[in-house]
């Protein structure tokens, strides 16, 4: 099982949120793997660039070494288009970054760990879990 971390989970892990850290620990013990979707890396890096902090940048750099960043592929973009069209036809609006994160997870058969379940709940073929509010 592979978990993909949304931006809010990366931040909670970097801030040592007890609940999230404990759930990650249990997942690791069960043999789970983790990855950071490339769009999440973009979201975190833009925040670090906007509000520079050498300490936070160093922590994130170490975090990335441990978890790794996934790759964007041409098939991921096609999945994203399908997700967008499906949501639009159902009357839902979701930001492009979240659609791309979802497409990455669908393509790579990952479970998305996010606090923003409402952004993802209407996306077919996407598994989500919230480690922060459960």
Q: What would the pLDDT profile of 48-100 be if each residue is shown by its tens digit? A: 999 888 999 999 999 999 999 999 999 999 999 999 999 999 999 999 999 99
CATH number of 2-129: 3.40.50.1010
User: What are the residue ranges spanned by the domains of the chain?
Assistant: 2-129
| Cα distance between residue 131 and residue 49, in whole Å | 27
**Helices and strands: H and E segment counts in the chain:** 7, 4
Contacts 24+ apart (CB under 8 A), 39-43: 39/97, 39/100, 39/101, 39/104, 40/4, 40/5, 40/6, 40/7, 40/10, 40/101, 41/69, 42/97, 43/7, 43/97
pTM of the model: 0.93
Could you tell me the two tokens for 53?
């902090």
């Amino acid at each position: 099982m592979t978990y993909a971390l949304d931006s809010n989970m990366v931040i909670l892990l970097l801030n040592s949120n007890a609940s999230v850290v404990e759930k990650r620990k249990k997942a690791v013990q069960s043999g789970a793997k983790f990855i950071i979707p490339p769009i999440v890396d973009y979201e975190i890096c833009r925040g670090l660039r906007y509000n520079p902090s050498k300490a936070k940048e160093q922590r994130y750099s170490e975090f990335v070494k441990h978890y790794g960043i996934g790759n964007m592929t041409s098939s991921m973009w096609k999945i994203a288009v399908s997700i967008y069209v499906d949501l639009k036809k159902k009357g839902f609006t979701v930001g492009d970054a979240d659609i791309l994160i979802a497409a990455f997870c669908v393509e790579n058969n990952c479970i998305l760990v996010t606090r923003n379940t409402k952004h993802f709940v209407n996306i077919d073929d996407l598994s989500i879990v919230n480690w922060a509010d459960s």
